[in-house]
Amino acid sequence: MAHILTRFERFTLTSLRLCRRYFDFASQDYLSLASHPKIKEAAKTAADHYGVHSAGSPALMGNTAPSIRLEKELAAFVGMCECIVFPTGWAAAYGAIRGLVRANDHIVIDQLAHASLMEGAKAATKNVHVFPHLSLRGLERSLKRVRLANPDSGILVVTESLFSMDSDSPDLAAHQELARKHEAFLLVDAAHDLGCLGLTGRGHLEMQGMLGKIDLLMGSFSKTFASNGGFVASNHPAMKLALRSGSCPQTFSNALSPIQACIVLEALSIIESEEGQRRRLQMLGNATRLRHELGASGFEVMGEASPIIPVVIGNSGRSRVITKFCLERGGLVNLVEYPAVSKNAARFRLQVMSDHTEEHILRFVGILKQAAIDADKMLAGI
């Protein structure tokens, strides 16, 4: 999938009047599974056996044999006793928080948490406390203050295992310890690292020795597992029933389709295989090479090696001009601006796939470098 993608041959940019092929560093398909032959075959077989639609919510006969099997296999994969799947990753994040938190409870959340987590928090309670990004001191200060003022209230701490705008990670053990110290629960969003990082693909949970030790774990299938959908897992025996009956996406939204469930099951099988390990190593090698080439070309690269490579460009005006020139030359990028990031810290969120090649990387960096040169000349009036 990570060649100069044929699916972008018909990608039309209305403002630029272009229809061409692109070097794709903007898609979330970290292990390049979306076009994998086994994935496509799984989708075809599922359509033949189960049809194409769940035709109901999970609470009202929408589950299918593949989705029930998926819940069991995912629970085992992340080292939890219980797992429940959702139709989208957004639904999992929003639905978990909205379904478990009551109006008099409190949420302590990292300031860079994903919009789905923030929106779920705001919908669940007015008692939302934001702490500085990755700051254990800030987290503890908030927990102390909230617990002292509310000795009987529930508290949910929310963070991510890999943040998508900065490509950095929290100390999960320290977050979990602080949560328990103050009689709070910890929810971790593993959307961007589960499946694609770690020796066996279990992401920062595995890398930090926290597999099966987090109170609540959620994730999305759309980054590594080649499908829409998401899940929430826990070792608490009541979690699944509480969300099945008390989370709106479980009651008022159609369930994951049998095709999607079979795709994720096949992706999970690949991820746990030798091929999955090889693809993770290829992806990480590509990410390391791209980070090096960008740095050598004068670009500011943030975070740690992962499929996400944030490249800081600066103010919105310059960033938009560079984006225009980059697209014109065949480099497909995602520009992220304020308020998603700080003012004057607009960035490209580049995303690396295992099937990218050295040629793709070198040619893309050349495109981006020339786009920046041309943009600066234009803005200087040369």
CB–CB of 354/280 below 8 Å? Answer: yes
pLDDT digits (tens, 9 = 90+) for 24-67: 999 999 999 999 999 999 999 999 999 999 999 999 999 999 99
- Using one digit for the tens of pLDDT, what is the confidence trace for 344-372? 899 999 999 999 999 999 999 999 999 99
Residue 80 and residue 217 in contact, taking contact as beta carbons nearer than 8 Å:
yes
| pLDDT at residue 201 tops 90 | yes
> Tens digits of per-residue pLDDT, 177-192?
999 999 999 999 999 9
Cα 266 to the center of its chain, rounded Å: 19
The whole-angstrom separation of Cα 380 and Cα 378 is 5
**Cα separation of 336 and 131, whole Å?**
22
CA of residue 285 relative to chain centroid, distance: 20
Domains of the chain, first to last: 6-30+274-379 (3.90.1150.10), 37-271 (3.40.640.10)
Residue 281 has pLDDT above 60, yes or no: yes
User: For position 380, what pLDDT does the model report?
Assistant: 86
Residue 14 has a pLDDT of 41
pLDDT at 9: 38
- Average pLDDT of the residues in 188-216: 97
Q: Residue 343: which pLDDT band, with cuts at 50, 70 and 90?
A: confident
